[in-house]
Amino acid sequence: MSDYSSVVASFITPPAITVTKLSRDNYHVWKAQLIPFFRGQGLFEYLDGTTTTPLKYVDFTNPESHVVFVVPNPLYENWLRQDVIILVVLFSTITETILIQVVSHTTSASVCQALKTSFSSQSQAHVIQLCTDLANARKGALSATDYFM
């Protein structure tokens, strides 16, 4: 799991890598380029959701007065900074047509899940269309089944 307190300054910026922008036709290529990049950065867990979002606020007890205060959680701030950088990288590698579909998502994990869902349903629809086309294919007066028999 990624360390929330890791230094984000060492992150390779998007211009330092060349990635084919995600379009309607190249999800698997785009994904194959980005997964090794984020794994190499130690950040893939943000994308697949295994790095959980820390609480935004935590209780802090004053050691002298024993009064409990609700304070911003520094782990959340570090997590948020890192996730926003990942979102910038993701958004910079997506065409406008696709970006419109995911721009409302606020975490890198939710963007990745939305893309996965969108492209897997498109892939299933494509397979069904290919099967239908094959079932209806003809060579002259013969169906595909009769032609290959």
**Is the pLDDT confidence value at 105 over 80?**
yes
The predicted pLDDT at position 7 comes to 46
Cα separation, 127 vs 111, in Å, equals 24
Q: Which of the four pLDDT bands, split at 50, 70 and 90, describes residue 11?
A: low
The closest alpha carbon to 101, from 86, 85, 117, belongs to 117
Determine the pLDDT at residue 91: 95
pLDDT at 148 over 60: yes
Euclidean distance between CA atoms 40 and 86, whole angstroms: 13
Better-scored residue on pLDDT, 99 or 3: 99
What is the model's pLDDT at position 13?
57
What integer best gives the mean pLDDT of the chain? 84
Q: What percent of the chain has pLDDT over 90?
A: 60
CA distances from 80 to 71, 106, 121 (A): 16, 10, 30
* pLDDT for 59 beyond 50: yes
